[in-house]
Amino acid sequence: MRIKVTSLKQLQLIANTIRQDLVNMLEEAKSGHSAGSIGLADIFTALYFNVIYHDPQNPQWEGRDRFVLSNGHVCPVLYAVLANAGYFPKEELMTLRKLGSRLQGHPHRGTLPGIETSSGPLGQGISQAVGMAIVAKAEKRKWRVYCVMSDGEHQEGQVWEAAMLASKYKLGNLTIIIDRNNIQIDGFTEEIMPLEPFVEKYKSFGWHVLEVDGHNIQKIIEACEESKAIYEKPTVIIAHTIPGKGIPFMEFLTEWHGKSPTKEQAEEARKILIEGRKEIEST
């Protein structure tokens, strides 16, 4: 099955809810990665409420699409979208990073429904996704594999080895979405270790390459649909995002890569997001 919300307005409202949940979770946890998680809310909303085939009531359904989160530190957004989709009670979101919680600082397979892989070490998610896609192709399965990656982890050599392998096996059932927010823990990616020309690199590795505004939910959905029509090669969607999108005092600042809001900052963020919700509802 697929949770398919077709109303763009409704999808935007869901993304707003996800952002509010993230602020609450991160404030309560007093630690975590804010900028990337909040910046990915639109992409995760598009995936889980329109694109991906999955069943919250039957997380191990054999026909489900597989989703791999490579940059596991942004797992708060994955937890928030899974809870809003019905995988577990939303109240549990407030246990993020607490001792004994199922919602730890990196996702763990087998602990929480809807989590396909444990992740933490950067650069390995694409290898896991490629392996899944190879199995699906060899066994003639209809399910697809989606993988969200950070831009910074492309500084890992393993990423490009996996990209070569995906091209070799012509994995048309694999779609990678890169969160191109230009920041990493030590600063801006292009200052730490330049990644450009990103598009040309992936094309030279034999991938079908798309670029989208990572906050335009309709364009994200369209790019994912286009990837389904590409049979002879894997697809990468380079999604240009703003870290901390929707909360002006977080946007573009590398310091928010790995910190949570204070009580006062969280209250300000909630007010901003509530006003943003009103604007969406009025359109």
Select the more confidently predicted residue: 68 or 190: 68
Could you tell me the domains of the chain?
8-282 (3.40.50.970)
- CA dist 208 and 234 (Å) reads 6
When pLDDT is cut at 50, 70 and 90, the band that residue 68 belongs to is very high
* pLDDT tens string 180-195: 999 887 888 888 899 9
pTM of the model: 0.96
The pLDDT tens digits of the residues spanning 50-64 come to 999 999 999 999 999
Give the E-state strand segments of 30-151 in sequence order.
66-69, 145-150
Q: How far apart are CA 40 and CA 165, in angstroms?
A: 27
